[in-house]
Structure 1
Amino acid sequence: MLTYLPVSFAFGVSANQFGFTAWEALFLSCSMYAGASQFLVVALLGSGTSIWMTALTVIALDIRHLLYGPALYQLIDRKLELKKTAIWAWGLTDEVFASGMIRLTQRRQAWNESWMLGLSLSSWFSWALGSFLGGLFADQVSALPQFLQASLDFLLPALFLSFLLAAFEKKHSFVVFITLIVSGIACYFIDLSAAIFIGIGSGIAAGLFKHYVLKRPDASLEGDHT
């Protein structure tokens, strides 16, 4: 919750700068709840992009969420309760997913659906609250020193980086290295938007190459195949 509040506050400020009210920022966080994609949505809509093009762009960016449920499910050794699962699965953001994976794989803790439910709901609440506060006090932010205003733009990448470092293991080095190199080249020679999609594709390709060509599957996957 403490990490979500400043990032969602930055989203509320960003939404206000593109002409959205605090209530509209809150509505986006309650109905969409897509983290980084919400920054993209307000930027695209604020610049005059059509709602359909905005929707297609966000769907392409968030298609990775289809993989989160199955990835967690294969590590859960008990039957899930449909009602609870439907709630926490709706709130399965990148950070909630990373927390669940770290709990199950690195800390080797038993699955607790009530814990996951609490994590999902509290994260959503803090994101929605921060979005509203950011939109509400956006005008006051302009009075802050320039370096503090600039730091708001780095909050979301910093949050992603913290979870990447927390989940990083030596076996991931090859995929991460290839993804960073290809993304950096694409960003330099093309643009940032293209680098995002090219980076995603290169990471997938590197993972498949490692698994099927180099024959170096992750330990968790080896356990599933035996």
Structure 2
Amino acid sequence: MKGVKSGLWDSLPIVAGYLPIAFAFGVAAVQAGLTPGLAMLISGIVFAGGSQFVLVSLLAAGGTVLTVAPTVLLMNARHLLYGRPIADLLGTGKRSVSPVLLAFGMTDEVFATVVSRMEGIAADDREHWYVGLQLGAYLSWVAGTILGATIGAEVLVRFPALGDGLSFVLPAFFFALLLSMKGRVLCSPTIVGALATAGLLLCIPAAAAIPLGIAAGAIAGCWSRRGK
């Protein structure tokens, strides 16, 4: 329990970022014609910020399951590359939590926090700390979606300027996470990802360039940790 509580505490920066982003998703989903219940279900099952916004946009544009599902899966494919560094940090001991559950809670923000902090966690506490970190992130994402889907429209009517701020929450949150990472952890994935994305934007649409740039950064991060 000590490890879980510590993970929940360390998830607070993620929680602070997820609540407004998930709130914005809940609002966007309802405005796109989805029911509040469906918006909550998407957050509860998919649990992937950027992909959920894309999913809603495609559904609103008339997309079908056959077109939406592959797009969302492709955007989330970068998470496959996160597994090796996380597994290395967790160690090879016996797992008390199902690997499926450990994988489900993986997001970009959780990964960034794990890579920058887990080495400072005692080896025996790492798995439970990781569970606590994921739990805090997941619950805040679902809670933010519920608020956005149920009362978001009323809030924006009362505070119209809030809508402009919500549109910048996601990139601002990623930038804050970037600043929290240091040294070698920051350098290789960030530089490679940024250069790859910038180069790809010159020749292909942003919808494809950004996920590919993210994947390039993740590959660089895995490569930089090889043999460790």
| More helix per residue | 2
- TM-score clears 0.5: yes
- Structure 2: any 5+ residue segments left out of the alignment? 1-14
Change (3 A) 1:110 1:12: same
> Rg bigger for which structure?
1
What is the aligned partner in structure 1 of residue 111 from structure 2?
97
Helix, strand or coil: the match of 1:75?
helix
Deviation at 1:201, TM superposition (A): 5.8
Deviation at 1:12, TM superposition (A): 0.4
Instruction: Work out the CA distance in 2 between the residues paired with 1:80 and 1:40.
Output: 38
Within the candidate set 117, 123, 128, 2:137 is matched to 123
TM-score, scaled to structure 1: 0.80
What is the aligned partner in structure 2 of residue 53 from structure 1?
67
2:136 is the alignment partner of 1:109:
no
**Number of residue pairs matched by the alignment:** 212
Instruction: Work out the CA distance in 2 between the residues paired with 1:84 and 1:201.
Output: 26
Deviation at 1:199, TM superposition (A): 2.2
8 Å Cα contact 1:141/1:149 also seen in 2: no
What CA RMSD, in Å, does the superposition of the two structures yield over aligned residues? 2.7
Q: Show the 5 A alignment for 1:77-88.
A: 77-88=91-102
Instruction: Work out the CA distance in 2 between the residues paired with 1:201 and 1:69.
Output: 13
Instruction: Work out the CA distance in 1 between the residues paired with 2:211 and 2:194.
Output: 12
Deviation at 1:13, TM superposition (A): 0.8
Instruction: Work out the CA distance in 2 between the residues paired with 1:75 and 1:142.
Output: 42
Change (3 A) 1:85 1:186: closer
8 Å Cα contact 2:33/2:60 also seen in 1: yes
What letter corresponds to residue 70 of structure 1 in structure 2? R
Q: Which has the higher contact order (CA 8 A, sep 6+)?
A: 2
Q: Show the 5 A alignment for 1:51-200.
A: 51-105=65-119, 108-111=120-123, 112=125, 113-169=127-183, 172-173=186-187, 176-187=190-201, 190-200=204-214
8 Å Cα contact 2:78/2:215 also seen in 1: no
Instruction: Work out the CA distance in 2 between the residues paired with 1:99 and 1:110.
Output: 16
8 Å Cα contact 1:88/1:121 also seen in 2: no
What letter corresponds to residue 76 of structure 1 in structure 2? L
Instruction: Work out the CA distance in 2 between the residues paired with 1:94 and 1:203.
Output: 12
Deviation at 1:149, TM superposition (A): 0.9
What letter corresponds to residue 87 of structure 2 in structure 1? Y
What letter corresponds to residue 221 of structure 1 in structure 2? R
TM-score, scaled to structure 2: 0.80
8 Å Cα contact 1:8/1:127 also seen in 2: yes
Identity of aligned residues (%): 33
